[in-house]
Amino acid sequence: MLQSRPALLTLAALVAFAANSVLARLALRGGAIDAASYAALRLAAGAAALALIVGFRGRRPAGGGSWRSAALLTAYAIPFSFAYLALTTGTGALILFGAVQLTMIGAGLVVGDRPPPATWLGAVLATGGLVALVLPGLAAPPPWAAALMALAGAAWGAYSLAGRDVAEPLIATGGNFLRAAGVGVGIALLARLLAPGSGYLTGTGVALAVASGAIASGLGYVAWYAALPGLTRTHAALAQTSVPVIAAAAGILLLAEPLTPRLVWSGGAIVAGIALAALPPRRVSPGE
């Protein structure tokens, strides 16, 4: 079973990721801001918030992180924003988290992870619950949008794996956001040059992007980076299947979305699958 500190950090990170989904849905699907500006503001707000936190500790975020991780972070944030212009929430969640799981579990198998049978059973149960949660509302997605969301999921999975060996997650995340913010702003400006009039901002859209970047992204990723050393690759991938359930619960409480039997049963399957996968392997005594 996961120790208390990694478990608490994981929970905090998953709640933050779910908040990201809610904020993005409000901003992008509601037409409060264009996708390129949302991604750029999200990354810039995350960089600013982390720089303040790191600065209070007498450090500089510019010395942390890497261009490789920053590139992965950018490759998640920007395709994610553009994909949600054409995908429904359920379609996007299925593609995103399916890509995350495939990336992280596949990487674990490549480097020699051999999950016990309980983990595989938990993976099947949790994935089945996720499919049951989002599949009934699916429509055939535009291929370009589905490809962008799959790219975002693969990039997020790779970014998570890159953070497993980071000694100072706060410094590393700050450095990654600082680098990615510059790229994001450049892409937003380029989009406006190539398509004049495509960019638009409202006060609501800016506020949602800043909240996503500073709180749900920046601080959420710090918690995730700090939790990763206490998780196997498979457990880390499985834990993220709970994010759509948390996001749906937030939608019920904050957006007055209905509580449906499908949500109850599929959410229960996801939580049960994660719990089963997190059980430690049974130790066989010499006399057995």
- DSSP letter string, 122-189: HHHHHHHHHHHHHGGG-----HHHHHHHHHHHHHHHHHHHHTTT-S-HHHHHHHHHHHHHHHHHHHHH
- Give the number of C-alpha atoms closer than 13 A to the C-alpha of residue 10, restricted to the C-beta side: 23
Taking a C-beta distance cutoff of 8 angstroms, is the pair 20, 212 a contact?
A: yes
Residue 89 binned pLDDT confidence (cut-offs 50, 70, 90): low
Task: Output 53 or 203, whichever has higher pLDDT.
Answer: 203
Considering the chain, what percentage of its residues have pLDDT values greater than 70?
Answer: 85
Please give the pLDDT value at position 206: 94
Residue 219 binned pLDDT confidence (cut-offs 50, 70, 90): confident
Q: Which helix (H) or strand (E) holds 192?
A: helix 169-194
Please give the pLDDT value at position 63: 63
Taking a C-beta distance cutoff of 8 angstroms, is the pair 14, 178 a contact?
A: no
**Is the pLDDT assigned to residue 222 strictly greater than 90?**
no
Taking a C-beta distance cutoff of 8 angstroms, is the pair 44, 186 a contact?
A: no
How far, in Å, CA of 209 to CA of 45, rounded?
A: 8
Structure tokens at 219: 């601080």
Considering the chain, what percentage of its residues have pLDDT values greater than 90?
Answer: 19
Structure tokens at 27: 């901003």
Nearest to 55 by CA among 167, 174, 204, 187: 174
pTM for the structure as a whole: 0.78
List Cα–Cα distances, 147 to 169, 201, 279, in angstroms. Answer: 30, 26, 34
How does pLDDT run across 146-197, given as a tens digit for each residue?
Answer: 889 889 999 988 988 887 777 777 788 888 899 999 999 999 988 888 877 7
Residue 281 binned pLDDT confidence (cut-offs 50, 70, 90): low
